[in-house]
């Protein structure tokens, strides 16, 4: 019998602690090992108890989420931390700081009309995340971290070898652990990398705008949230806004253009990697360089298949360097990536692939 994932809930609100506790207790593979009302109490609890995952409030009295996270990482580096934040600008900024410090994931505290509705939202979001970070397979059919049942599709025979054209577009999918992985890749590319980049990172609304600002600040690259009808410009990185699918279309003047829509979620996500990958495969075909970074579940699998079928080149992050090898692992199991590389090699490999003609 597999051991349960032990969880500590840290929040100054007794109502929130109770809500999260009841939500997690619905799954028999999760044990709520303890609760604490602030960071100082949590650290005292951790001195005499073991835990796998901590759900940590961002804003608390006595000791806030960031200071608590610093202590946890120093004293308990193997424990995975999920930051819980209100959907406010200040909450999103602090959460992005926490992710850059090494928190595994963030969730938005639910805004709901009733306790039952709030509990349903938390359950969908948190159970698969806790299980995935705790090393268990998430339950099927919940949130964006699990694979939807797929029809049996013949495996594509991927043509190996170097691409023969310089890519015109780089597309990247990411989820759990993605912000830090994106930061590493974009920093390695540098500010002079001139090919446009489109990113889908699973995040709530407001958080994606803060992510774009952090990436621009850290990498020196022009990085913005994608806006509907934006023309895709060289040297610019576009992040799909939370709550919207982002697609790339061919415009009448021949320049690629962004489309945002609120069509149904895919893999229980919006934004989903699939719409962006699918649309890019139709517009750019063999001129695409796709990258799948760390993330739970299998969002992007179907889109990756279309990228490869159209002649695009696909890279995936390897398992040891991923926070969770879900999304890159899903495409690897289908033998879709042309290369599977550690995070610290992806940036240099992208640069090399995007300068093929100059190197010939």
Active-site residues: which are they?
175, 202, 299
Q: How far is CA 175 from CA 229, 264, 300, in A?
A: 25, 19, 11
Q: Give the pair of three-digit tokens for residue 99.
A: 């992710």
Q: Give the pair of three-digit tokens for residue 283.
A: 């517009």
Strand partners, 56: 10, 83
Q: How far is CA 79 from CA 54, 71, 75, 121, 315, in A?
A: 7, 11, 9, 24, 29
Please tell me whether residue 236 adopts helix, strand or coil conformation. Answer: strand
Query: Angle formed by the axes of helices 89-101 and 65-75, to 10°?
Result: 10
C-alpha 97/C-alpha 85 separation (Å) is 12
Q: Does the CA dihedral 249-221-184-93 come out positive or negative?
A: negative
Query: Angle formed by the axes of helices 343-353 and 178-189, to 10°?
Result: 40
* Residue 121, phi-psi category: left (phi > 0), alpha (psi -120 to 50), beta (remainder): alpha
252-255 contacts at long range (C-beta below 8 A, 24 or more positions apart): 255/231
SS3 string, 98-110, reads: HHHHCCCEEEECC
Spatial CB neighbours of 145, under 8 Å, sequence gap ≥ 6: 128, 129, 132, 138, 175, 176, 296, 297, 326
Spatial CB neighbours of 269, under 8 Å, sequence gap ≥ 6: 143, 144, 202, 299
C-alpha 203/C-alpha 346 separation (Å) is 22
C-alpha 360/C-alpha 86 separation (Å) is 52
C-alpha 87/C-alpha 97 separation (Å) is 15
C-alpha 322/C-alpha 332 separation (Å) is 13
């Amino acid at each position: 019998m597999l051991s349960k994932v032990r969880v500590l809930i840290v929040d100054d609100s007794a109502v929130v602690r109770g809500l999260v506790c009841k939500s997690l207790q619905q799954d028999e593979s999760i044990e709520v090992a303890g609760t604490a009302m602030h960071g100082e109490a949590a650290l005292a609890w951790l001195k005499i108890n073991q835990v796998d995952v901590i759900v940590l409030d961002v804003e608390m009295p006595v000791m806030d989420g960031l200071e608590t996270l610093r202590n946890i990482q120093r004293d308990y580096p193997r424990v995975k931390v999920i930051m819980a934040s209100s959907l406010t600008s200040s909450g999103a900024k602090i959460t992005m700081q926490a992710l850059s410090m090494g928190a595994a994931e963030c969730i938005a505290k639910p805004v709901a009309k009733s306790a039952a509705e709030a509990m349903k939202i938390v359950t969908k979001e948190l159970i698969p995340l806790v299980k995935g970070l705790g090393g268990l397979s998430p339950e099927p059919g919940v949130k964006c971290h699990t694979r939807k049942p797929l029809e049996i599709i013949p495996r594509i025979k991927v043509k190996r070898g170097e691409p023969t054209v310089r890519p015109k577009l780089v597309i990247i999918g990411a989820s759990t652990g993605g912000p830090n992985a994106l930061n590493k890749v974009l920093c390695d590319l540098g500010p002079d990398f001139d090919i446009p980049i489109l990113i889908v990172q699973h995040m709530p609304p407001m958080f994606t705008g803060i992510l774009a600002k952090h990436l621009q600040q850290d990498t020196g690259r022009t990085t913005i949230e994608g806006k509907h009808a934006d023309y895709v410009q060289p040297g610019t990185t576009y992040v799909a806004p939370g709550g919207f699918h982002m697609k790339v279309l061919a415009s009448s003047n021949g320049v690629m253009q962004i489309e945002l829509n609120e069509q149904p979620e895919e893999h229980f996500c919006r934004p989903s990697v699939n719409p962006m990958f699918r649309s890019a495969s139709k517009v750019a075909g063999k001129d695409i360089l796709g990258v799948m970074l760390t993330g739970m579940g299998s969002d992007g699998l179907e889109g990756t298949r279309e990228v490869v079928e159209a002649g695009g080149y696909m890279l995936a992050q390897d398992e040891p360097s991923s926070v969770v090898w879900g999304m890159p692992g899903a495409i690897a199991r289908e033998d879709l990536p042309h290369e599977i590389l550690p995070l610290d090699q992806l940036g240099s490999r992208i640069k090399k692939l995007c300068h093929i003609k100059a190197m010939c």
